[in-house]
Amino acid sequence: MKPAISIVTLGVADYGRSKAFYEALGWSTELDIQETAFLQANGVLLVLWARDKLAADTGVKDDGARWSGITLGHNVASRDEVDSIIEDARRNGADITHEPGETFYGGYAGVFCDPDGHAWEIAHDPGFGLTEDGSIVLP
């Protein structure tokens, strides 16, 4: 298997609310089929799909747990950009679980949870480079 991630699918409780939330943060829905939204992020698709349908499709029992043990990361070019994104998320109803601040690795980050509890770390790491399209480059 060639290591790659091409799609991240988030199970959502309220499709319309979640789609509106991500669009308010600047994401663009490229395809919307049967209440499944496909949002383009560089070379990866972020998909929003009803949580019960996703659980049924994957054969996983949905026990309703709020914390999945997964955090999604979005690296940006500056501390100001971290602050701006966290504030946009706050204005659009996100739960800010970690206010932006210094990190143990010398960077700057904040974390919010979307309306379904999916955790997003917004980070500036001066040790990582970013390409023009926002892809991360390891040192």
pLDDT digits (tens, 9 = 90+) for 7-31: 899 999 999 999 999 999 999 999 9
pLDDT: which is higher, 118 or 6:
118
Question: Do 52 and 60 touch, CB atoms closer than 8 A?
Answer: no
64 found inside a domain: no
The CA dihedral of 87, 92, 10, 72, to the nearest 10 degrees, is 0
Instruction: Name the residue with higher pLDDT: 65 or 27.
Output: 27
Whether residue 7 is contained in a domain is answered as yes
pLDDT at 66: 66
Indicate the pLDDT class of residue 71, thresholds 50, 70 and 90.
Answer: confident
Domain containing 121 equals 70-139
Average pLDDT over residues 69-96: 93
Evaluate whether 127 touches 139 at the Cβ level (below 8 Å): yes
Q: Which residues lie across from 111 on neighbouring strands? A: 98, 121
27 and 86 in a single domain? The answer is no
Whole-model pTM over 0.85: no
Residue 99: give its domain's CATH number.
3.10.180.10
Mean pLDDT for 42-62 is: 85
